[in-house]
Structures are given as C-alpha cells and as structure tokens.
Amino acid sequence: MKKATKKEIEELKSILIDKYKDAKTELNYTNEYELLISIILSAQCTDKRVNIITPALFEKYPNTKELSNANLDDVKSLINSCSFFNNKAKNIISMAKAVEEKYNGIIPRTQKELICLAGVGQKTANVFMIEYENKNLMAVDTHVFRVAHRFGLTSEKTAIKTEAELSKKFKTDLHILHQAMVLFGRYICKATSPDCAQCIAPHLCKTKDTFKAN
C-alpha cells in the first residue's frame, strides 16, 4: 500500500482539525472518576452501551471510596450487558482500591501512574488525559488504527507502534486528531461498507481494506 507523503499528511491533518475541532468523547461523564470508569468499560464495547450502563453504576457507587468497598457480584450485575463484564468488574473495583490507598481518592493525572491501575493500559490512560486535560497525546483504538492505515499514515501492525508513528508525523493537535479519527472511523470510514460518498478526503485515501491491530 502506498504511503502518504508529508504534504498529504499535512493536508489530512488540516481537514480533520477543521471538521472535528470541537469534537468530544461520546461517553457521558461529570467528573474524572466517571470518565475513567467509562473509558475502562468502553474497551471492545460501544459508547452507547456504556452510557446505558453507567448511570445506575454511578448512582450506587459515586466515587472510588464507595466502589472500593463494593460487592463484586453486585458490580457485575450492574454492568453485565457490557462485554467482558466479569473482568471489568474486578478491574474497576481494584482500580478504586488503588486510588483510595495510593492517591487519597484522587484519580492520578500522569500516564505512568494511570497505567499502574487495574484495567488501565496506555490507550486508556491517553484517552483519559486527552479528554480531561486536552493533553497533546495520541491514542489508537480500532477506528484510529483503521483510518491511519487506510490513509497510508502508517504500516505498523500494533496500536502502540501506530500511536508512536502518528505522534511523530502529526506532532501537534494530537488530542483533536485522536477524537477526529475516532468519529470519522466510527461513522464514515467504517470497517465494513465505508461510506466513501461522505469521505472528507477521498483524494487522500489509499485503500478500502480493513486493518486490525495484532
């Protein structure tokens, strides 16, 4: 597959920022605790489903103190329509306990600290910091990975390596570009039957093939 030129990358960057400069996550939250929980639950699950699940969860467990003392089976029952709910229930309780014990109930704000929490990997940590603090970071989910490959921005096989390459090529406005590529991939540049008629940069597309991270 042909790789995008530096000029094409700059053009795509400009188009994405112009189209999606005001875009925000579609997850519903009111504070950093709710945001982190929602991001953890959203792994391999739709934001729409997470938004259905979380109101009851947050009503019963409104903070890390309450969640750290939660009954595992009760949490499972509240999120059982979410993919991998058994592991996610264990993780969010463990995360809450760690935040209470190590950070006095305050969600940490650095990647190094966040990825030490149960259920939080590099992508989750970056998404949290992108959304809550507008950090100049890139996070690669299935949509970003697919869009990046279709536009010839990378040929890397893993999300982490793709993140590094996108960060190097785009350099600035990464928080906007992350959200732009998520929404563009979710609604237009879909895995199957991409809506090419609605593409914002059809002249820059290299392929319609579907790509998945290893």
For residue 128, give both structure tokens: 């949290």
Between CA 116 and CA 79, with CA 26 as vertex, the angle to 5 degrees is: 60
In the residue annotation, 141 being an active-site residue is answered as yes
For residue 155, give both structure tokens: 């040929």
For residue 79, give both structure tokens: 């999120």
Closest listed residue to residue 124, CA positions, set 148, 140, 108: 140
In the residue annotation, 3 being an active-site residue is answered as no
Burial zone of 168 (CB within 10 Å; 0-12 exposed, 13-18 middle, 19+ buried): exposed
Catalytic position from the list 123, 135, 169, 208: 123
Residues identified as active-site: 123, 141
